[in-house]
Chain A
Amino acid sequence: MNALSFLLNSTIGKKIVMGLTGLFLISFLLVHCGVNSLIFFNDGGELFNEGAEFMGTNLLIRTVEILLFAGLILHSIQGLYLVYLNRKSRNVSYHVNSGKNSTWYSKSMGLLGTLILIFLILHLKHFWVTSRFTDQITGGYTTLFDEMKVVFSELWVVILYVFSMFSMAYHLLHGFQSAFQTLGLNHKKYTPFIKKLGFWFSIILPFLFAMMPISMYLGWIE
């Protein structure tokens, strides 16, 4: 068999794809959070709208966006497929299973990922569809910042967003360092640093994201 297709069809290869797409999605989160955090300047969304305008019109960003969707779809489908395969490998469950040998979230990546995916569909409908497929923003009827205020004026939306950021935090808490392990990047000197970095990333990033709907709902950001 061809070496590359052998690699991609193996369990290790499938996990390597998960790790690579995962790290790619993490890099997206960093940019997304960076731009969105501009709302915290509390300048009526001026800086944020500028940032959003740049992200929406820059050719490079728009090209990477296609890659991003490809990565997202691959990560989701491959992830769910692996859950299915792994369930088949452990076809009978134990009557008594202590489970203390590993964290609950490391064993629930499929569930956490699915919760994030459901959130993502709603999230894309809220902002991505509005800004790309309607003339609301491009036609100058509203700005993305004002759109955020409208969306986050509903309590259930805010609760759902915050809950989803908990899913995201736990997904990252395992996923960040797990991706490095899967790619074989394990080293006595650097792994403790990667784990620490992953830990803080998984807390700070979802916290900042969660603060966006909360502060808008409570009127901290005007």
Chain B
Amino acid sequence: MSGNMNLTLKVWRQKNSSDKGRFETYKMQDISPDMSFLEMFDVLNEQLINTGEEPVVFDHDCREGICGMCSMYINGRPHGPKDAITTCQLHMRSFKDGDIIVVEPWRAAAFPVLKDLAVDRSAFDRIIAAGGFVSVNTGNAQDGNNLPISKVDADEAFASAACIGCGACVAACKNASAMLFVSAKVNQLSILPQGKPERMQRVRAMVAQMDKEGFGACTNTGACSAECPKEISLSNIAALNREFLMANLIDQEG
């Protein structure tokens, strides 16, 4: 078909977490510009299976940009060359015939490589388990305006809640800091009445877990927000700093 592309892929291959790993080069022929990046990887894996080779392991699930499962550091950027999308939303039309595409896993001490392009992001789960929830049953969704929440707060909480926990922020950050993720998860709850009562212990527990997992400190470079598929704002991080400072200085429990 016309418009189809021939590409060279340089993909990170690693047997397991203790393997040193290396780049493998694969030639891709006749790739449709309408394919998503992950579909292109499906084609690659089919080729590998047909030739008796080990397919490339990569994370993916919903393939519509809401689950946060797909990762991949593509040509030096998490989720590839476009802003505000996940890898499954990246299409091959973003590349040109003859391009060399380098694909690496997320790099962070807290996200060890499991195999090939799949990393262990359970550190995020443990941060959520430390306090990213409301510990009483708040019942069904109430009638509109039963619980008065200002438009400003509702919008802010919603924008923070858009975080899909993909880890692009950690991958992009030179310090592998998880501050954008943690700040979004803290704020989405602390802004709303259901989450407010526990805000002090929540922020302390979640930051303690974040540090324990070995994520770096925030140097405010802004790389996280620039690479975030959901465009989570840096103001979340300032709010987290404020919240954490207050929780330790003012809160009387512990």
Chain B residues lying within 8 Å of A86, measured Cβ to Cβ, are: 174-177, 216-217, 219
Chain B residues lying within 8 Å of A94, measured Cβ to Cβ, are: 73, 76, 104, 107
| B: interface residue count bin | 35 or more
| Segment at the A interface, from B36-44, B63-71, B220-228 | B220-228
> Of A15, A88, A97, which is within 8 A of B214 by CB?
A88
B173 to chain A, nearest CB (A): 7
Tell me whether chain B's interface is mostly helix, strand or loop, or mixed: mixed
A16 within 8 Å of B by Cβ? yes
| Segment at the B interface, from A5-13, A42-50, A165-173, A210-218 | A5-13
Contact A89 B208 (CB under 8 A): no
Among residues 156 to 175 in chain A, which have CB atoms less than 8 Å away from a CB atom of chain B?
174
A82 to B216, CA, bound (A): 8
A3-30: contact bitstring with B at CB < 8 Å (1 yes, 0 no)?
1101100111111100000000000000
A126 to B75, CA, bound (A): 48
Which of A92, A102, A182, A186 has most chain B Cβ within 10 Å? Answer: A102
A68 within 8 Å of B by Cβ? no
Chain A residues lying within 8 Å of B240, measured Cβ to Cβ, are: 12, 184
Interface size on A, residues (CB 8 A): 42
Chain B residues lying within 8 Å of A6, measured Cβ to Cβ, are: 204, 208, 248
A164 to chain B, nearest CB (A): 21
A5 to chain B, nearest CB (A): 10
Chain B residues lying within 8 Å of A185, measured Cβ to Cβ, are: 238, 242
B16 within 8 Å of A by Cβ? no
B81 to chain A, nearest CB (A): 8
A189 within 8 Å of B by Cβ? no
A93 within 8 Å of B by Cβ? yes
Contact B254 A96 (CB under 8 A): no
Contact B251 A10 (CB under 8 A): no
Which of B177, B204, B215, B217 has most chain A Cβ within 10 Å? Answer: B217
Given the interface pairs A10-B244, A90-B175, the reply to whether A3 lies near B249 with Cβ below 8 Å is: yes
Contact A178 B223 (CB under 8 A): no
Given the interface pairs A6-B204, A89-B175, A101-B77, the reply to whether A12 lies near B241 with Cβ below 8 Å is: yes
Instruction: Mark A residues whose CB is within 8 Å of B.
Output: 3-4, 6-7, 10-16, 82, 85-86, 88-103, 106-107, 109, 174, 177-178, 181-186
Instruction: Mark B residues whose CB is within 8 Å of A.
Output: 10, 12, 23, 73, 75-77, 102, 104, 107-110, 172-177, 204, 207-208, 210-211, 214-223, 226-227, 234-235, 237-245, 248-249, 251, 254
